[in-house]
Amino acid sequence: MQQMIFLALALMIAPLSPTDTAVTAARAVDAHYNHLKSFRAAFTEVYTGPGVSRTENGVLWLKKPGRMRWDYQQPREKLFLIDGQTAYFYVPGEAQARKTSVKNIDDIRSPLRYLLGKTKLEKELEGLSLAPDVKPLESGNIVLRGIPKEMKDRVSDAILEVSPAGQIYRIVVHEADGTTTDFRFSNLEENISIQDSLFRFIPPPGVEMIQSNQAPQ
C-alpha cells in the first residue's frame, strides 16, 4: 500500500527540465524525500583545501526519524553516526570514540539527516536559485545554489545537483575558509528495510568515549 501511494505521488510530480525555476526544482526535491522512510547510497567525498586534497568512499544510510550513518571504507575505515539525539565519531583501531549532542554538532554532514523529514529547501537555503554556471555531472539534471541557514556563518554556499525525479545526486559545500567538500551519491536505494540496530553505537572493548563537537578528519 505504501509503495502504491508513493508511486501515485511521484506520478503527480511533472518531470523537471533545465528551464524550470529553482522553486519548482526545490519543491520536487521536497515532495520526493518527504515521502521516503529510508535511504541507502554509495558516496564519494572529495575534500579540498589549502595544500590538502582527499577522496574517500563509503556507504550512507538514512532512516526516519533523523537517523544517519556514514560508513567510510576507503582509504581507511571510519564511522560517523547519528541516532536521532547523539552523534558518534569513531575510527577503528583508535583508543577513543567521540560523541556529542546533535544540537551541538559542528559538521557539514549532519543537516543531511533532514532529507528524511519535513524537507523544505526554500526555508533551509537562503538565496535559493538556479546555478547555470555549474555543469551537472549527469545531462538533464538541474543545479541549485543556496546558503544553508543553519551554517551560514561557516558556509559561503552549497550546490545541489537534482535529477528530474527530484533526487539529489551531488552536494558541494563551499566553506568561508576556502575549503570545499564535494559529496557524490550513486546506487540509490529508497524505502528499503534497514534495522534500527544499524544506528546504535556500542564502543568496542577498551575504547574510551569522550565528548567532542569535532569529527575526525
Q: Judge whether residue 45 has pLDDT over 70.
A: yes
**Residue 124 CB partners (closer than 8 Å, separation 6+):** 111, 114, 146, 148, 149, 150
Query: Does 2-202 carry CATH code 3.20.20.70?
Result: no
Which strand ranges, in their side-by-side order, compose the sheet holding 142-148?
125-130, 142-148, 155-162, 168-175, 180-190, 38-49, 52-63, 67-74, 78-82, 86-90, 96-101, 208-211
Mean local confidence (pLDDT), 62-67: 90
Mean pLDDT of the chain, nearest integer:
85
**Residue 107 CB partners (closer than 8 Å, separation 6+):** 80, 87, 214, 215
Mean local confidence (pLDDT), 188-194: 96
Task: Answer for the pair 73, 88: CB distance below 8 angstroms, yes or no.
Answer: no
- Whole-model pTM? 0.83
Please give the pLDDT value at position 213: 62
Please give the pLDDT value at position 17: 46
Give the pLDDT confidence of 67-125 residue by residue, as tens digits: 999 999 999 999 999 998 999 999 999 999 999 988 877 677 766 765 766 668 888 88
Please give the pLDDT value at position 141: 93
**Residue 180 CB partners (closer than 8 Å, separation 6+):** 46, 47, 48, 49, 172, 173, 174
Q: Which residue do the cell numbers 575526525 mark?
A: 216
**Distance (Å) of CA 138 to CA 8, 185, 214:** 26, 12, 33
Beta strand segments in the chain, E: 38-49, 52-63, 67-74, 78-82, 86-90, 96-101, 125-130, 142-148, 155-162, 168-175, 180-190, 208-211
Q: Judge whether residue 44 has pLDDT over 60.
A: yes
d(CA 135, CA 127): 19
Give the pLDDT confidence of 114-152 residue by residue, as tens digits: 576 666 888 888 899 999 999 999 999 999 999 988 788
